[in-house]
Amino acid sequence: MPIDNFIETLIDEIDGKIRFANIGGMQDGKIVLGGVAGPNGGSGSPPGNFVGQLNQRFVTYDTTEAATIITASSSSLVDNLNHIRHDIENLIAVSGMDATAIHTNADSEIYTITLKTTPVNNDVLLIEDSEDSYNKKRILASGILGGGSGADENAIHVDEASEIYAVTLKATPANNDVLLIEDSADSYSKKRILVSGVLGGGGSGNDDDAVHVDVASEIYGVSEKSYFDDTDVVLIEDSDDSYNKKRVQISNVAGIINLSDLGGVSIVDPSNGDILEVDGEGSWINTSRLYNSADEITATSAGVAASVDTAITEVTTNGDSDLDNVTLANGLTTQIKHIFCVAEGNASDTWKITPANMIGGTQITFAGAGEGCTLVYADSEGWCVIGNNGGTIS
């Protein structure tokens, strides 16, 4: 047998005797210098290939040693190691390697914590306060949730029914009440507006300045104007344009009313007592002058019109010794007109009246001053002479 093998075999034999012997009768167990980790020094075969003191890496771990400050009263090696482990674990916790801590570089740590499905007001949350150098602080859940239901109970939500309906009702809004809107002209940012901006003022829930289809006496309460001007306007709904609202002038309204529809009704202008009626062509005329006023004209052979807006026309001939002509347009039904000559420009002048429409002739001719006639307008038939002084009807 080679000398190396002999020495190795001898060492193994000596080691075996030591491991399975009680040295001096003082040890409670056998000496184990390696093998497999376990209680009371571990177990297994002794390590080989060593001479002299055993290398520390071959000493097995004793699982009965505990990491606690409280150990056996004896000053044994196990007791000493227990103290060391306790201090080491405390050191690890302080150094940021606490296995129960929440780390910035570890996934799913919060997710694995027990879930509480319904927070309550007094639950606490850990924050880093941005207003205090991000120092850690705790806050109550009520400060975030506004009531502890898991959602803000005082908020209006897009997916919850009857939230607005449950809010206290104000029956009569006031102008300065506010509404919450999302402004379509500003990327739907939330803004507030006054009720007056929606309702038009008054705060009654309706636009007080509007005319409504279901409210009585609104038009009656508007300031009254007791006469019409041609340029006054009225509001209509246009039947030719899907009943869209439009305005028309009074002068155009008269054009769609038949004189027979008025039944002889006239309108009195209280500012001056003038009587306004509609003529046969649908125009407003001042009929008060038919009874209370006169016009003066100088007749010529080419023709000068007598006014149909006055009751009397006074004629003066122009003195050129020919036949002067006074024309007369159609009037109103039952209108009475007096036409006579008050002066001659020349003794040899003559003059005539030529109505646009005349019953029983086309003209009345006169020799000079002091002569004339009275005519009445008979509906659509024309003027009829009912009084004549010196005139010849032809």
Q: Residue 15: how many CB atoms within 10 A of its CB?
A: 17
Q: CA-CA distance, 357 to 89, in Å (whole number)?
A: 129
- Boundary residue ending a domain (58, 84, 100): 58
Same structural domain, 135 and 197: no
Same structural domain, 296 and 384: yes
Per-residue CA distances from 158 to 39, 178, 179, 185 (Å): 65, 20, 17, 21
Q: Establish if 88 belongs to a structural domain.
A: no
Per-residue CA distances from 135 to 90, 126, 130 (Å): 24, 10, 8
φ/ψ of residue 29, rounded to 5? -140, 180
**66 near 38, Cβ under 8 Å?**
no
Q: CA-CA distance, 65 to 32, in Å (whole number)?
A: 16
When mean pLDDT is compared over 65-74, 256-265, 333-342, the highest value belongs to 333-342
Residue closest to 334 by CA, chosen among 394, 283, 290, 369: 290
Q: How many domains would you assign to the chain?
A: 4
Q: Which has the higher per-residue pLDDT, 257 or 113?
A: 113
Q: Which has the higher per-residue pLDDT, 140 or 371?
A: 371
When mean pLDDT is compared across 45-49, 118-122, 364-368, the lowest value belongs to 45-49
When mean pLDDT is compared over 5-14, 221-230, 334-343, the highest value belongs to 334-343
Same structural domain, 49 and 127: no
pLDDT classification of 111: cutoffs 50, 70, 90: confident
Same structural domain, 381 and 351: yes
SS3 label, residue 240: coil
What local confidence, expressed as pLDDT, does residue 315 receive? 95
Q: CA-CA distance, 98 to 101, in Å (whole number)?
A: 5
Same structural domain, 146 and 177: no
Same structural domain, 320 and 389: yes
What local confidence, expressed as pLDDT, does residue 161 receive? 84
Q: Establish if 100 belongs to a structural domain.
A: no
Q: Establish if 369 belongs to a structural domain.
A: yes
Q: CA-CA distance, 103 to 96, in Å (whole number)?
A: 9
**148 has pLDDT over 50:** no
Residue with tokens 């004189």: 259
pLDDT classification of 364: cutoffs 50, 70, 90: very high
Q: Look at the chain and count its residues.
A: 394
Q: CA-CA distance, 96 to 93, in Å (whole number)?
A: 6
CA atoms within 13 A on the CB side of 372: 19
What local confidence, expressed as pLDDT, does residue 317 receive? 95
Q: Which domain range does residue 147 map to?
A: 116-153
**322 has pLDDT over 90:** yes
pLDDT classification of 109: cutoffs 50, 70, 90: confident
Summarize the confidence of residues 250-271 as an average pLDDT: 57
When mean pLDDT is compared over 85-99, 114-128, 286-300, the highest value belongs to 114-128
- Boundary residue ending a domain (33, 58, 83): 58
Q: Establish if 252 belongs to a structural domain.
A: no
What local confidence, expressed as pLDDT, does residue 374 receive? 95
Q: Establish if 262 belongs to a structural domain.
A: no
What local confidence, expressed as pLDDT, does residue 52 receive? 46
Same structural domain, 332 and 388: yes
* Whether the model pTM is above 0.75: no
Strands 135-140, 124-129: pairing kind: antiparallel
Residue closest to 375 by CA, chosen among 392, 358, 356: 358
How do residues 181-190 score in pLDDT, each as one tens digit? 899 999 988 9
Same structural domain, 213 and 300: no
Same structural domain, 138 and 204: no
* Mean pLDDT for all residues in the chain: 75
Same structural domain, 15 and 45: yes
- Could you give the percent of the chain with pLDDT greater than 70? 60
How do residues 164-211 score in pLDDT, each as one tens digit? 888 898 988 888 899 888 999 999 889 999 887 776 554 455 566 777
Kindly give, in sequence order, each residue whose CB lies less than 8 Å from that of residue 273, ignoring residues fewer than 6 positions away: 288
Q: Establish if 316 belongs to a structural domain.
A: yes
How do residues 3-52 score in pLDDT, each as one tens digit? 666 666 666 666 655 555 444 443 344 444 445 555 555 555 555 544 44
What local confidence, expressed as pLDDT, does residue 303 receive? 94
Q: CA-CA distance, 191 to 178, in Å (whole number)?
A: 10
Same structural domain, 376 and 301: yes
**330 has pLDDT over 70:** yes
Q: Establish if 19 belongs to a structural domain.
A: yes
The CATH number assigned to the domain holding 313 equals 2.60.120
Same structural domain, 143 and 178: no
Summarize the confidence of residues 119-138 as an average pLDDT: 89
Q: CA-CA distance, 234 to 222, in Å (whole number)?
A: 14
Q: CA-CA distance, 110 to 125, in Å (whole number)?
A: 13
What local confidence, expressed as pLDDT, does residue 360 receive? 94
Q: Which has the higher per-residue pLDDT, 68 or 385?
A: 385
Q: Establish if 235 belongs to a structural domain.
A: no
DSSP string covering 80-126, please? HHHHHHHHHHHHHHHTT--TTS--TT-TTTTTTSPP-SS--TT-EEE
- Boundary residue ending a domain (58, 82, 103): 58
**Cross-strand bridge partners of residue 376:** 336, 384
Beta strand ranges found along the chain (DSSP E) = 124-129, 135-140, 178-183, 189-194, 233-238, 244-249, 267-268, 275-278, 284-286, 294-299, 304-306, 312-317, 323-328, 336-343, 350-355, 364-366, 372-378, 382-389, 392-393
How do residues 374-390 score in pLDDT, each as one tens digit? 999 998 799 999 999 99
